[in-house]
Amino acid sequence: MLATISPLLLVAIATRYGWRNAFFLAGIPGLILAGIGYFFIREKADSGLPGASHLPGKSSRASIVVILRQRNVWVSILMGSCIMTWLFAQVTFLPKFLVSSRDFTEKDMAISLSLFGLGVIAWGLVGPALSDKFGRKPVVLFSFLLSLLLPFGVIYYADGLGMLSPYLFFGAAGAGAIPIVLATIPSETAPSRYLGQTLGLVMGICELVGGFLAPVIAGWSADRFGGAAPFFLAAAAAVAAGLFACLLHETAPAVTASRTGKRFDEGKP
């Protein structure tokens, strides 16, 4: 919900009190979450895994080798790095591009970001649900394909808020694939004893590439080739993510069970 409200709120505050003060306010939710995590999250003494307390010691290097032997893990890293590049290359430069290059007012720019945020929420709910029914691979492929609407809509069809709105909402489908790629597929692939390290490895690399390197490259390309360059970069990243998705092995329990002729709920109490 904050993804929809915060652009409207922050732009209004920034317009009235300055962007510096708005950025200070933007950090408050993070501090609140940190406090909630510190005071309310408790570590379990027993992980619940059979023999977990007697697992043989493994070096970090050895465990990473075991993790990366799983095809879906390194494919998820490649897909995740691409789709995070798609995300951050756009959200970093979208406000400035709409105002400076497409003559949007600050109000219309804020509404545009809110529509994108609304799409992120909607697809974040719809994408994982569809992947449970139809499989991880077809859903992420469809999401990556649909995500091309956003960069091309911004480049070619941003003549006004009304025209751009559907591209913002439906183009946000790529965000619906992010939890599937960064968490669901790796957790269904990796050995259970390495689950935490697997998720940390996948998310860490993807955040490093998408959250750190991508904005730097996008900014350099914008300076050299023009304001639309980050959106072409985002489109290329979405295409690359789709190509990598073709290498996935299906992991959705309901789908894999149907292929082997077993019921998904077989053996459950």
| Range in 130-134, 178-182, 263-267 the model is least confident about | 263-267
**pLDDT tens digits, residue range 74-100?**
999 999 999 999 999 999 999 999 999
- Shared-domain flag, residues 71 and 12: no
Residue 259, both tokens: 């292929």
Q: What residues make up the domain containing 2?
A: 1-40
Q: What is the CATH number of the domain that holds 220?
A: 1.20.1250.20
Nearest Cα residue to 182 out of 124, 134, 142: 124
pTM for the whole thing?
A: 0.82
Which residues have a Cβ under 8 Å from the Cβ of 7 and sit 6 or more positions away? 110, 111, 113, 114, 117
- Same domain membership, residue 93 and residue 136: yes
Identity of residue 243:
L
pLDDT of 54:
44
The DSSP result for 126-155, as a single string, is HHHHHHHHH-HHHHHHHHHHHTTHHHHHHH
Q: Are 123 and 249 within one domain?
A: yes
Same domain, 10 and 96: no
- pLDDT tens figures, 154-213: 999 988 999 999 999 999 999 999 999 999 999 999 888 889 899 999 999 999 999 999
Question: Is residue 85 a part of any domain in this protein?
Answer: yes
pLDDT tens-digit readout, 208-229: 999 999 999 999 999 999 999 9
Burial, 32: exposed, middle or buried (Cβ in 10 Å; 0-12, 13-18, 19+)?
exposed
**Are residues 194 and 148 located together in one domain of the fold?**
yes
One domain, residues 163 and 83:
yes
Does residue 81 lie within any of the structural domains?
A: yes
Residue 267 included in any domain: no
Q: Are 254 and 264 in contact (CB under 8 A)?
A: yes
Q: Give the gyration radius of the chain's Cα atoms.
A: 21
Look at residue 174 and tell me if it is in a domain. Answer: yes
- The Cα 116–Cα 160 span in angstroms is 15
Assess whether 141 and 9 both reside in one domain.
no
82 and 204 inside one domain: yes
Q: For residues 36 and 71, state if they share a domain.
A: no
135 and 233 in a single domain? The answer is: yes
**CA dihedral for 217, 221, 222, 223, sign (positive or negative):** positive
Q: Is 24 in the same domain as 79?
A: no
Do the domain assignments include residue 24? yes
Number of domains present in the structure of the chain: 2
For residues 186 and 28, what is the distance between their CA atoms, to the nearest angstrom? 31
**87 shares a domain with 207:** yes
Q: Residue 202 domain-assigned?
A: yes
